[in-house]
Structure 1
């Protein structure tokens, strides 16, 4: 079996960082990811490798790379990922509903920023957590509540990757800025 894990596809190294795989259909099929390309967050896709084509497509001289989705069709691609998740990974959408309920019931007292750690209940893979982060960031109700997602490293510094692996369970940190 020749299959390149899409989370490891970081070429060209001078342009690609923060690869967050949203959907991985495994060997011989495709992957969709949110990546940082030249310091801009974009949606990208690739055909995963197989025994006959180990590096998949696209590739550069046999090194796996990503195809950047044009901005005009990013939303269409994301809607397809969400539609497939409704069938194949519905627990992600259930987790989003639970998260939204918890945050909508929150009563903030005082001014400033409130930070809460939301422990994921049903999600156990990084790909599933990445899709949940994407859903949180694009959900209109959560935008109205001014919810954002970020992470902290072990030194307390904010990182660009919003997913942590803490205590062997995935967590999200959510911040709400109160005006």
Structure 2
């Protein structure tokens, strides 16, 4: 499900991975407002998105809208915690922007799932 997950404060969202071409990001952050989860502002989530989508490339959009998006606003696809843990463990040994951020996210996610 694509959502607007992360609070708009710079210290609450962290880019954990950026593809070599800069088109794909993995980020951690705290959910903004999730009516189904009263603890959303305190629960770390991992989101993924294409910063530059195929559609952006085909239409040569500048600035790019990325994917997912809703009503011309960028969205993030929030991963379930167990899948997020697997993904972060896989990319941990690849070139990433912030390896310590991945370690911290893994620690919090593991605590949340127990």
TM-score, normalised with respect to structure 1? 0.40
**Residue 49 of structure 2 contacts residue 77 of structure 2 at CA under 8 Å; is this kept in 1?**
yes
Q: Which aligned segments of 4 or more residues in structure 1 are displaced greater than 6 angstroms?
A: none
**Residue 21 of structure 1 contacts residue 31 of structure 1 at CA under 8 Å; is this kept in 2?**
yes
Which residue of 2 is the match for residue 48 of structure 1? Answer: 51
Instruction: Please state which structure has a larger fraction of its residues in strand.
Output: 1
Unaligned runs of 5+ in 1: 1-10, 90-126, 140-179
Q: Larger RCO: Structure 1 or Structure 2 (Cα < 8 Å, ≥ 6 residues apart)?
A: 2
Unaligned runs of 5+ in 2: 32-39, 108-114
Q: What are the equivalent positions in structure 2 for 1:14-163 lying under 5 Å apart?
A: 15-17=5-7, 18-25=12-19, 29-37=23-31, 38-39=40-41, 40-49=43-52, 50-51=56-57, 52=59, 54-85=64-95, 127-128=97-98, 131-136=99-104, 138=106
Structure with greater Cα Rg: 1
Distance 1:31 1:79, change over 3 A: same
Which residue of 1 is the match for residue 110 of structure 2? Answer: none
